[in-house]
C-alpha cells in the first residue's frame, strides 16, 4: 500500500522563497497528504502568505524562535506524519515534479526506510553541481559517517516511525541536526536507498553572496523552468550531464592515480633489480681469490695511500 507523504519545510523569515518551495511540493506527480511549514519565530508574514494560498493541505506550525535552527519544532512534523513518511524540503530549495514519486516507489516496495535523492547544487551563476552520496557504497558510507555530508535535507524521505524510534530531531546539537538524525537512523539498522536521477535543486545559503532579491529571482526562474515541459526536459538534461561529468572526472582521477601507482611500482621493481645485481657483483668480488689474497695487505695499502697523500701536500 502506498505510504502517505507529509512534507516538512522548516523556515525562518524567508517568505518569498518558502512560497516557491511549497509550490514545487504542491505540483508533485505524487501528491503529498499534507505540507507542514514549521515557522520558527517568523516575523515577516510567512504564516499569512501561506494562508492566502487557500490550500487545505498546507499547515503552518507557528512556534517562538527556537534555539539555533529550531530543530525541536521539527519533531511535530514526525508526529503529524503518523504511520506515513516524511519528505523534507529546504525553504529555499525546489523539487522536480517526480521527486516524491521516485522516492515513494522505494518506500512502498519496502526496499528502504530512508531514501536520499540525488540533488544538484545551483551556483550563483546558475551552473549545477551534483550533490549526493549513496550511503550503502562502502567508500561513500565512510564519508557519510565521517567528516562530509553531501546530502541536503531536501533530498531525504524516510518513514516517520524510524525517525521517532531513534529519538527524532535532537535538541542538543547546534548545527547539522539533519545529518545527525540521518546517521542515527542508518546506524539503527534502517535500510537506505538512493534515487540516482537528480530530482532536487539545492540553493545552498551558506557562503552565497547574492542579494536576497537576486536569490528570490533565481529560485523563481528555476521554478518557471520546472513548470514548462520543454524547459523541464532541458533542465533534466543539464542535471544529468552535470552528474555524468562529475562521475567522469572521478573516473579520470582514479585512472591517473592508478597510472601513477603502476609507474612507481615499475620504478621500485627496477630499483630492486639494480640492488640485487650490485649485491651479486659484490658477493662475487668478496668470494674471489683476488679479494682473499688482497685482504691481509689492506692495512698496509691504506697506509701507503696516506703516505702518498702526505708527500703531495708537502
What is the per-residue pLDDT for 146?
87
Q: Mean pLDDT across the stretch 143-164?
A: 93
Please tell me the pTM assigned to this model. 0.79
- CATH number given to 5-227: 3.90.550.10
For residue 312, pLDDT over 80 is answered with no
Q: Which residues contact 28 (CB under 8 A, 6 or more apart)?
A: 95, 97, 98, 99, 100, 101
Q: What confidence tens digit (pLDDT) does each residue in 189-228 have?
A: 999 999 999 999 999 988 889 999 999 999 999 999 999 9
User: CA-to-CA distance for 160 and 93, rounded, in angstroms?
Assistant: 22
For residue 254, pLDDT over 50 is answered with no
Q: What confidence tens digit (pLDDT) does each residue in 71-98 have?
A: 999 999 999 999 999 999 999 999 999 9
Which grid cell is 180?
Answer: 545527525
For residue 249, pLDDT over 60 is answered with no
Q: Is-contact 167 180, C-beta < 8 A?
A: no
What is the per-residue pLDDT for 255?
43
Q: Which residues contact 85 (CB under 8 A, 6 or more apart)?
A: 3, 4, 5, 6, 104, 107, 157, 158, 159, 160
Q: Which residues contact 35 (CB under 8 A, 6 or more apart)?
A: 6, 7, 9, 22, 25, 26, 55, 57, 58, 59
Each domain of the chain, given as residue ranges in start order, spans: 5-227, 230-314
Which long-range contacts link 130-133 to residues 24+ away (Cβ below 8 Å)? 130/198, 130/242, 130/243, 130/246, 130/247, 131/155, 131/202, 132/194, 132/198
Q: What confidence tens digit (pLDDT) does each residue in 27-47 have?
A: 999 999 999 999 999 999 999
What is the per-residue pLDDT for 225?
98
For residue 252, pLDDT over 60 is answered with no
> Which residue is listed with cell 528555476?
222
Lowest mean pLDDT among 97-111, 206-220, 297-311: 297-311
- CB 53: neighbour CB atoms within 10 A? 14
Q: Where are the beta strands (DSSP E) in 104-206?
A: 114-122, 128-131, 156-159, 192-202
Which grid cell is 314?
Answer: 708537502
The region, left, alpha or beta by phi > 0 then psi within -120 to 50, assigned to residue 132 is left
The CA-to-CA distance between both ends of the chain, in Å, stands at: 106
Amino acid at each position: 500500500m502506498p505510504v502517505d507523504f507529509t512534507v516538512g519545510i522548516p523556515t525562518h523569515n524567508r517568505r518569498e522563497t518558502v512560497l516557491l518551495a511549497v509550490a514545487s511540493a504542491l505540483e508533485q506527480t505524487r501528491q503529498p497528504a499534507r505540507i507542514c511549514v514549521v515557522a520558527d519565530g517568523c516575523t515577516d508574514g510567512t504564516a499569512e502568505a501561506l494562508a492566502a494560498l487557500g490550500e487545505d493541505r498546507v499547515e503552518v506550525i507557528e512556534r517562538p524562535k527556537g534555539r539555533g535552527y529550531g530543530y525541536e519544532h521539527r519533531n511535530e512534523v514526525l508526529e503529524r506524519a503518523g504511520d506515513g513518511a516524511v519528505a523534507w524540503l529546504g525553504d529555499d530549495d525546489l523539487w522536480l515534479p517526480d521527486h516524491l514519486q521516485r522516492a515513494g516507489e522505494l518506500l512502498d516496495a519496502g526496499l528502504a526506510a530512508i531514501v536520499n535523492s540525488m540533488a544538484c547544487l545551483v551556483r550563483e551563476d546558475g551552473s549545477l553541481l551534483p550533490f549526493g552520496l549513496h550511503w550503502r557504497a562502502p567508500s561513500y558510507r565512510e564519508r557519510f559517517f565521517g567528516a562530509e555530508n553531501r546530502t541536503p535535507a531536501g533530498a531525504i524521505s524516510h518513514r516517520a516511525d524510524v525517525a521517532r524510534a531513534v529519538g527524532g530531531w535532537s535538541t542538543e546539537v547546534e548545527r547539522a541536526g539533519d545529518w545527525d538524525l540521518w546517521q542515527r537512523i542508518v546506524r539503527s539498522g534502517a535500510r537506505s536507498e538512493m534515487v540516482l536521477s537528480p530530482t532536487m535543486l539545492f540553493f545552498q545559503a551558506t557562503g552565497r553572496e547574492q542579494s536576497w532579491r537576486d536569490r528570490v529571482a533565481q529560485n523563481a526562474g528555476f521554478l518557471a523552468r520546472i513548470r514548462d515541459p520543454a524547459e523541464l526536459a532541458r533542465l533534466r538534461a543539464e542535471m544529468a550531464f552535470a552528474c555524468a561529468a562529475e562521475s567522469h572526472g572521478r573516473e579520470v582521477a582514479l585512472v591517473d592515480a592508478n597510472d601513477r601507482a603502476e609507474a612507481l611500482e615499475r620504478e621500485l621493481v627496477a630499483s630492486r633489480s639494480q640492488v640485487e645485481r650490485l649485491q651479486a657483483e659484490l658477493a662475487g668480488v668478496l668470494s674471489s681469490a683476488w679479494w682473499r689474497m688482497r685482504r691481509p695487505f689492506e692495512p698496509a695499502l691504506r697506509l701507503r695511500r696516506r703516505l702518498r697523500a702526505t708527500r703531495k701536500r708537502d
